Structure 1
Amino acid sequence: MTKRTIRKIAVLGSGVMGSRIACHFAGIGLPVLLLDIVPADAKDSDNKALRNKIVNDALQAAIKSNPSPVYHKDVVKRITTGNFDDNLKDIATADWVIEVVVERLDIKKQLFEKVDAVRKPGTLITSNTSGIPIHLLNEGRSDDFKKHFCGTHFFNPPRYLRLLEIIPTPETDPAIVDFLMDYGDRFLGKTTVLAKDTPAFIANRIGVYGIMAIFGLIEKMGLTIDEVDSLTGPIIGRPKSATFRTADVVGIDTLVKVAKGVYESCPQDEARDSFRIPGWLDKMVASNWLGDKTGQGFFRKVRNSSPTGGGREGAGGGEKEILTLDLNTMEYGPRQKPKFSSVDAAKPIDDLKQRLKMLVAAGDKAGEFYRQFHYGLFSYISHRIPEISDEPYRIDDAMMAGFGWEIGAFESWDVLGVERTVKAMKEAGYSVAPWVDEMIAGGHKTFYHFENGRKLSYDPAAKTYKPVPGGADFISIANFASAPVWKNGSCTVVDLGDEVLGLQWNTKMNSIGGDVLSGIGKAIELAEKNYRGLVIANEGPNFSAGANVGMIFMLAIEQEYDELDMAIRMFQNTMMRVRYSSVPVVVAPHALALGGACEMSLHADKVCAAAETYTGLVELGVGLIPGGGGTKEFVLRSSDEMHEDEPETITLKNRFLTIATAKVATSAHEAYGLGIYRKGLDEVVMNQNRRVAEAKRSVVELQESGYVMPVQRRDVKVLGRTALGTLYSGIHGMHTAGYATDHDALVARKLAYVMCGGDLSEPTLVSEQYLLDLEREAFLSLCGERKTLERIQSVLKGGKPVRN
């Protein structure tokens, strides 16, 4: 096959999905042509702005939306807009044309007829449809069109939801399917899942079944909306939006449309009746209560007329309140905080799999809900093979990437015990597909198992296990955990192969406390003795929310300052151990990598960060300064960045402001601009699943290129009073203008003092240890401030610092 390169993209349709797909492609560096229709009132106009009003307005709306569809605002410059009448001919320069117009077969087919006439041979043509059979879209098209056509179903928002379903037709060239599966993975950062051309494909088929089945359980068990959302969110490894909030975000009309589509198109579906629309749901659609898009759905946001409540909707002032719909009365009322004893008991358990076992086994109403819900789900997914997928892993991949599940449904079944659960399901009146019984009878007790760190999935057709594709590139440290090199209460060190160690930890929010610091030190010690180097990563929802502030608060409130000093020294020494080890240490963060986790990245030999990494030194928010070497490292980098042709204070001031305003990069790409990641050294990995493999490769490359242990720096230039006065003056200005509270100003002055190297009379060269000592002293003094402790307490209780 001729090597295929994508140099330019054309996106046809600039609605919510089209504009954001265009932004995502621009975000990976490609020029994009975004087209839409000419407004009806501009058909006869020569004014280009009027003719492109629809596409330009849509793109601007996308750019302004929250969360942002781009990794960095500058990437929008890569998008060129136009309209179908004037610019469709320009798709001849594109290597891939993606159709995202209205969900009507006739309109799509009319557009494809025009596309077929102007595209260059060999151009990829794909449709993002979610409801129209893919094979109907290429009817009447040329052979070359059919050969290069298939479905590419992105999920909204395309930047954040990682699922990309690839749906070929019988005429699609298999080489094109292989190319799109690989391209979506490596370049777009997607979990690419090969789907069959069946109604709703994979993720929506299973996901909408799950929601509709819950609707049925509500009536059967007498549950409320608030109760269900408390049971189906993070407690079982699902997104915070749980069930009903998800429906409001997606759009209740969209949910109903998919459910009706499955009901009408799948007469052989054994659970077809689950897709019947309840009467109360029909009433909501008829009343235009469609969720966020219409201002109300299962929830409605109102504003109280005063902070004490009691106001009418829409009144000025007051606090916002979210009301919940009562499905019995169809009226909104205050949200209730449900209480289930089993849920309360399970919440402290960090390990999701152990938590899931406990919840499903519970004897209360919540336990009964979990059993009924999982039995129905397991039955449904078993019967969807081979209808929508030939293998279980594709269904799990689709649900994790498209619906944000932490673990897939088949993996959950493994956790609960396949054979034991099948028996309980049958006793409760739920069926399983024959292949599951055959699997158990053949001595295969799980859908997945691991061999030498590689994940294998049961193949019902072959009646044996086969490796999940991408095993060499999708390294998961957790897959090696059954044979650890070393472990303690929080950490596990494993052999990743090729003489590279991997370290992961599992704590609440993956915070970094004493156990984790000990684990990092031990992992480096082991790597220095017998290995090429170390990869630090984990598989949790977040890399790490930072240092264990609960421990800091406890020691500070009890005035155990000697122990607190030792804890800070340990953190600093561990970060310096990361920097000054005799083997390469590579950190592979993802999602949240804040505070102490950011400091770890700052000290690594290299960072291989997932594109969706949100990192920054956020300690100022809780009334502290970075105390694990982060302040020191920013001063060191500032010193290295100073140039003779600009004032020395400029680079220091920029670094100071980044910490003082607790800036967080909203993507790994933005972290370069904040000076956290280093251009030409640190790496952004588009597909989060490839982080560990890339980090392992980097360890090997660094070691083979002649890695030499760095020497601690003694030549860090600090500016003393030369810069201290400037920074103090800026802090005073912010305080006087009301942008900083008294305590903000106090903390900022402490930070300025450290970053200037203290009250030195002139610029001086100092050691890293000198700066670490200043940093630690400032951190300790701030731990004795009442307002700092109030902020930390506020974070521990409610997740946000109080502004005091």
Structure 2
Amino acid sequence: MTKRIIRKVAVLGSGVMGSRIACHFAGIGLQVLLLDIVPEDAKESANKPARNKLVNDALQAAIKSNPSPLYYPDAAKRITTGNFDDNLKDISTCDWVIEVVVERLDIKQALYEKVEQYRKPGTLITSNTSGIPIHLLSKGRSDDFKKHFCGTHFFNPPRYLRLLEIIPTKDTDPEVVSFLMHYGDLFLGKTTVLAKDTPAFIANRIGVYGIMAIFGLIEKMGLTIDEVDALTGPIIGRPKSATFRTADVVGIDTLVKVAKGVYESCPTDEARETFQIPTWLDKVVENKWLGDKTGQGFFAKKKGEKGEREIYTLDLQTFEYKPQQKPKFASVETAKPVDDLNQRLKMLMAGQDKAGEFYRHFHFGLFSYVSHRIPEISDEVYRIDDAMMAGFGWEIGAFETWDVLGVASTVTKMKEAGYSVAPWVEEMLAGGHQSFYRIENGKKLSYDPQSKSYKHIPGSNEFIILSNYKDKLVWNNNSCKVYDIGEEVLGIQWSTKMNTMGSDVLAGVTKAIELAEKNFKGLVIANEGANFSAGANVGMIFMFAVEQDWDELDMAVRMFQNTMMRCRYSSIPVVVAPHGLALGGACEISLHSDKVCAAAETYTGLVELGVGLIPGGGGTKEFVVRASDEMHHDEPETITLKNRFLTIATAKVATSAFEAFNLGIYRKGLDEISVNQSRRITEAKKSVLELFDSGYVQPIQRKDIKVLGQSALGALYAGIHGMNRANYATDHDALVARKLAYVMCGGDLSEPTLVSEQYLLDLEREAFLSLCGEKKTLERIQSVLKRGKPIRN
């Protein structure tokens, strides 16, 4: 196989998609050439900025957008801009050319003709088209072009949506397909899915079917937009944007275009009529209510009676916008408190109200549709599930959902309700196979309709999913499970609301370390779900504080501190693999680990100041330790401490794992990033073994931490006072900040002094407990518990 290295990428087209693809490649460290057309009014101009105005404006708009398409701001420096007239020749220096221009076959083919003049042989050339058959794009091109050409369909926004569909033609070299599948996974952090050159490929084919099927149920069942979005969001493991909000974000015209494309291009689709555009949807498009891009769609923001901006929902009967409603269904209210998605789905499907009827119709139709798409759009069931989870944000795919509900029993119910299943599903059940997936030795196997057997999912050996090790359970309590994940390494995960850390979790981590010290080489701490952990259980803190149970609260804080110190000072390596939110206490466990193997999309920070507290699980102490180690003669010692103080005092959260290095949360040269979130636990396990095999020695608690006392305390107090006087900080903010400064300076010491970690932990705990007695702190915590965010008081 030819060794292929990607050093520089050309992105042709700087629209919303092209500019963000360029940012993602720059974010992983590549040089990027971003090109677009010369504006009409600059065609005759020799002025370079004028000729590049379109591409430069597009790139700046992308960089300023929220959420950011870049892992860190400086990554934008790797992007060079230009235009097709002056700079297309520069693609000769690129290893991969990605076309992302307007969705018109003639325009794309004309551009490819020019590209072929400058592209060096062997260079990858791919299109991000979502609606044009891939084989038509390369028509008339050279053999070398066709050999290295295929579709690479990113989903928007490319940094955050993990799906990358690879769509080869009959002329595409298999080596190119293999390379792109691997590169997308390892370097771009994508779930790479091999798709066939069929209309809408995989994710959009299934996703748009799901939306259109729901549109049909609206008319059939008399549902409102608010009712549908309440039924099709997180309650069933789907994104908060649910159905209609998703349509507004994507663009209602885009949705209609894909649906029409499937209807026109798939005459043999048994559910073809589902893609017919309802009259009311045509009217929405005619009114140019296309969603976010036009300022209104199925939802609009209007001024309410009190003058505040409120969300209004379109009434499909009157075509007027009305205040958004929060509908309630008996079966949904019963299922809401259930954290386990699998159990919740079973309860919802069994509901005897309108919601239960909706869920049965929706899932039966979905199961029927995906079963009939094999082998049309994919030969494998796992590819369809992977595409929907990575592209549409589903927690579990359609086939996996079917497994949860019971394949055989669901097929019976589907038939009774008038829904068909593909013959291969019947054959699977007749052959004694009762599920689409099974787990063997910690790895997931998928049923293969062609061989009528189960096969390992390619590449899955690179991914460790802790819940796949149920048969290797070593220990558990109500919240935690500890598994033997092979090669004498333990893995612990917990399952609580938002994966918060209470007494059960702390006891579990301590027990896992104890077990690892006896019989294993080390421990990996990781979680599944959307987030690693939202931090400490503030509900427990609030309860103890309101009841003034100070002894219990003191014990709880000591337990948190002791658990963090066990992570730091165990006799075996402890490696943490965070992803998503890793806030407060979850950040503290990373600070105290031997190593962090974080997913690139990890949002971490010490956020306790927002609820009127200071980090009380060793986070404040650890920032003082690191500030002490960073002090040197080239700059005043107070500067280093001040920077650390401000990171906590302003509750800064890293917007990526890359930024966490700049905030001093992750350690340069030690902690690592996995761009592909699915690889983080595997990398953490490797790190445990590397640390153990290199002769891991239990660290000794520090007693040499330099604190600055009154000299630094005065400076910090002065800064806090200034922020308060300028109204950047409330009186309570200032009170909390002074408590933080006191701890970080080592107390009211007359001169710089060397102290121990325990000394700082005691100061930290004392300050934390005192703040729990403050009325305004309790008001902030109560606001978080009730509304999900603290009030400013």
- TM bin (shorter chain): over 0.9
Is 1:793 the counterpart of 2:782 in the alignment?
yes
Q: Give, as a single letter, the amino acid of the residue that structure 1 aligns with 2:289.
A: W
Letter in 2 for 1:652: L
Name the residue aligned to 2:499: 510
Map of 1:500-649 to 2, 5 A cutoff? 500-649=489-638
Equivalent residue letter for 1:299: F
Distance 2:506 2:251 in 1: 45
1:380-427 CA-to-partner distances (Å, cap 9, x unmatched) read 000000000001100000000000001111000000000000000000
Give 1:453's aligned residue: 442
2:299 aligned partner, one-letter code = F
How far residue 561 of structure 1 moved from its aligned partner, in angstroms, is: 0.5
Could you tell me which residue of structure 1 aligns to residue 264 of structure 2?
264
Aligned residues of 2:63 and 2:69 also touching (Cα < 8 A) = yes
Contact 1:55 1:83 survives alignment (8 Å):
yes
1:329 equivalent to 2:306? Answer: no
What residue number does 1:177 align with?
177
> Which residues in structure 2 correspond to 1:273-288 (within 5 Å)?
273-288=273-288
- Which residue of structure 2 lines up, in the alignment, with residue 441 of structure 1? 430
Report the equivalent of 1:206. 206
Alignment partner of 1:778 out of 767, 786, 792: 767
- Matches of 2:529 and 2:476, distance apart in 1: 17
Matched, 1:65 2:54: no
Matched, 1:671 2:670: no
Runs of 4 or more, structure 1, over 6 Å off, are none
Q: For 1:146-204, what per-residue CA distance to the aligned partner results, in whole angstroms no more than 9, with x for missing partners?
A: 00000000000000000000000000000000000000000000000000000000000
Residue identity in the other structure for 1:59: L
User: Which whole-Å CA distance do the structure 2 matches of 1:370 and 1:652 have between them?
Assistant: 56
Structure 1 residue 491: Cα displacement: 0.4
Work out the CA distance in 2 between the residues paired with 1:31 and 1:481: 44
Report the equivalent of 2:696: 707
Letter in 1 for 2:49: A
- Tell me which amino acid in the other structure corresponds to 2:282: D
**For residue 726 of structure 2, what is the amino acid of its counterpart?**
A
Letter of the 2:744 counterpart: M
Secondary structure of the corresponding residue to residue 126 of structure 2: strand
CA offsets, 1:117-157, max 9 Å, x none?
11000000000000000000000000000000000000000
For residues 611-657 of structure 1, give each alpha carbon's deviation from its aligned partner in whole angstroms, at most 9, with x where no partner exists: 00000000000000000000000000000000012111001000000
The amino acid of 2:22's aligned partner reads A
Corresponding position of 1:407: 396
Q: C-alpha offsets along residues 32-54 of structure 1, whole Å, 9 cap, x if unaligned? A: 00000001111111000111010
The answer as to whether partners of 1:237 and 1:407 remain within 8 angstroms in 2 is yes
- 8 Å CA contact 1:612–1:668 kept in 2: the answer is yes
2:195 maps to 195
Name the SS for the 1:410 alignment partner: helix
Q: Residues of 2 paired with 1:432 and 1:319: CA distance?
A: 50
Deviation at 1:701, TM superposition (A): 0.3
Contact 2:472–2:485 at 8 Å: present in 1 too? no
Q: Retained in 1: the 8 A contact 2:604–2:654?
A: yes
What does residue 139 of structure 2 align with?
A: 139
Deviations 1:770-804 (A, max 9, x none): 00000000000000001000000000000010000
Q: Deviations over 1:63-95 (max 9, x none)?
A: 010110000110100000000000000000000
Cα distance between partner residues in 2 of 1:769 and 1:340: 52
Please state if 1:129 is matched with 2:161: no
Aligned counterparts, 1:34-433, within 5 A: 34-304=34-304, 308-309=305-306, 318-433=307-422
The reply to whether residue 753 of structure 1 matches residue 742 of structure 2 is yes
SS in 1 for 2:223: coil
Say which SS state the counterpart of residue 450 (structure 1) adopts: strand
Q: 1:472, CA displacement in angstroms?
A: 1.8
- Per the TM alignment, residue 235 of structure 1 is displaced from its structure 2 partner at its CA by 0.6
Instruction: Note the C-alpha offset of 1:471.
Output: 2.1
- Percent identity reads 81
1:2 offset after TM fit, Å? 1.6
**1:264 Cα deviation from its structure 2 partner:** 0.2
* 8 A Cα contact 1:12 1:97, kept in partner: yes
1:462 — aligned with what? 451
Amino acid at match of 2:298: F
Deviation at 1:538, TM superposition (A): 1.1
Using the size of structure 1 for normalisation, the TM-score is 0.98
**Cα distance, 1:302 vs structure 2:** 1.2
Q: TM-score, normalised on structure 2?
A: 1.00
* Whole-Å separation in 1 of the counterparts to 2:724 and 2:714: 15
For residues 129 and 84 of structure 2, what CA distance do their matches in structure 1 show?
Answer: 19
Shift of residue 347, structure 1, vs aligned partner = 1.0
Matches of 1:514 and 1:149, distance apart in 2: 55
Aligned residue type for 2:7: R
CA distance in 2, matches of 1:235, 1:248: 20
Local SS of the residue matching 2:462: coil
Write the letter of the residue equivalent to 1:146: K
**Counterpart among 736, 751, 758 of residue 762 in structure 1:** 751
Structure 1 residue 341 displacement after superposition? 1.2
Structure 1 unmatched ranges of 5 or more: 310-317
Please list the CA deviations of residues 324-379 of structure 1 after superposition, one character each: whole Å capped at 9, or x if unmatched.
00011111100111011111111111111111111111111111111110000000
Query: Is residue 472–residue 693 contact of structure 1 (8 Å, CA) maintained in 2?
Result: no
8 A Cα contact 2:439 2:445, kept in partner: yes
SS at match of 1:34: strand
**1: CA distance between counterparts of 2:649 and 2:353?**
49
SS, match of residue 481 in structure 1: helix
Any unmatched runs of 5+ in structure 2? none
Q: CA deviation at 1:469?
A: 1.4
Q: 8 Å contact 1:103–1:132 — kept in the other structure?
A: yes
CA contact (8 A) 1:718 1:765 kept: yes
- 1:313 is matched with none
Q: Deviations over 1:511-552 (max 9, x none)?
A: 000110010001000100110100000111100000000000
**Distance across 2 between alignment mates of 1:745 and 1:153:** 50
Alpha-carbon distance in structure 2 between the residues aligned to 1:731 and 1:638? 19
Work out whether residues 437 and 447 of structure 2, in 8 Å CA contact, stay in contact via their aligned partners in 1: yes
- Contact 1:718/1:763, CA 8 A, preserved across alignment: yes
- How many residue pairs get aligned? The number is 793
The answer (yes or no) to whether the contact 1:623–1:787 under 8 Å persists in 2 is yes
Partner in structure 1 of residue 10 of structure 2: 10
Instruction: Give the structure 2 partner of residue 314 of structure 1.
Output: none
Partner amino acid, structure 1, of 2:136: L
For 1:323, give the aligned amino acid. Answer: Y
CA shift, 1:470, in A, is 1.6
1:681 aligns with 2:670: yes
Q: Distance in 1 between matches of 2:470 and 2:612?
A: 38
- The match for 2:708 is 719
The CA deviation string for residues 226-279 of structure 1, in whole angstroms up to 9 with x for no partner, is: 000001000111000000000000000000000000000000000000000000
Is the contact between residue 511 and residue 544 of structure 1 (CA under 8 Å) also seen in structure 2?
yes
Letter paired with 1:699: V
Q: Quick one: which amino acid aligns to residue 706 of structure 2?
A: K
